[in-house]
Amino acid sequence: MPDWKPIVGLAFNQQEFDRYCKGLNWSAWRPSFITVHNTAVPSLAQRPNGFSMQHIRNLEGYYRGLGWRAGPHLFVDDRQIWVFTPLTTTGRHSPGWNNVSIGVEMLGNYDIEAFNSGRGLAVRRNAVAAVASIGRRLGLDPATIRLHKEDPATTHDCPGHNVRKDEFIGDVRAKVAAFYDGEHAPADPHPDD
Ligand SMILES: [Zn+2]
């Protein structure tokens, strides 16, 4: 069985995750874009309180059991952002893109669960914030975000048709803009810069 990359196994809220990203250095591997997924199984209904540390450990056991060296980079639920595979190394989540892309898994089955209300909307907001934080750190244009199903090497219909790419990218753009507004508010000493 190949060497397994130990998982990070830490959970953050949006602000904590942004700070965490600022401390990372992509010197050995630099991803070109972020790929968005849904877990489908488990669905939101199957994880009424989101992921626990034990759930994350179980996922580690699952991917190791497949004989994989790593899994996706993040598991995002309605409460927090779990770091799974270290963000500064390659993961495994989309057959054609593992060497060039960070994989973000969103808890839910967005073929049948709502992505614009309730817990699905909370997952969406956390995922948008996580993608914005990583993208800002790496200097990635939100337009480069891709959905798993766009990988020509996959047959998976992921992340579900309730996740609309243009809306997701728009959310990330707004989040990035809000980050920058936050940095300059309330008093910008150089308002014309
Ligand atoms: Zn996927």
For the stretch 54-108, pLDDT in tens is 999 999 999 999 999 999 999 999 999 999 999 999 999 999 999 999 999 999 9
Report the domain count for the chain: 1
Give the residue among 58, 61, 54, 59 at the shortest CA–CA distance from 73: 59
In a domain, 150, yes or no: yes
Residue 146: give the domain boundaries. Answer: 10-184
> From ligand 1's centre to the CA of 84, what distance in Å?
15
CA 98 to ligand 1 centroid distance, Å? 12
For residue 150, give the DSSP letter: G
Compute the distance from residue 29 Cα to the ligand 1 centre, in Å: 21
- 70-96 b/e (C-beta count within 10 Å ≥ 16 → b): bbbbbbbbbbbbbbbbbbeebbbbbee
Q: What mean pLDDT, rounded, does the chain reach?
A: 93
Give domain status of residue 35, yes or no: yes
Q: What is the pLDDT of residues 116-154, one digit of tens each?
A: 999 999 999 999 999 999 999 999 999 999 999 999 999
Give residue 65 CA to ligand 1 midpoint distance, Å.
18
Q: Are strands 101-106 and 74-76 parallel, antiparallel or unpaired?
A: parallel
How far does the centroid of ligand 1 lie from the alpha carbon of residue 127, in Å?
14
* CA 94 / ligand 1 centre spacing (Å): 7
What's the CATH number where 46 sits? 3.40.80.10
Q: Is residue 54 part of a domain?
A: yes
Answer whether residue 3 is part of any domain: no
pLDDT for 181: 73
Does residue 20 belong to any structural domain of this protein? yes
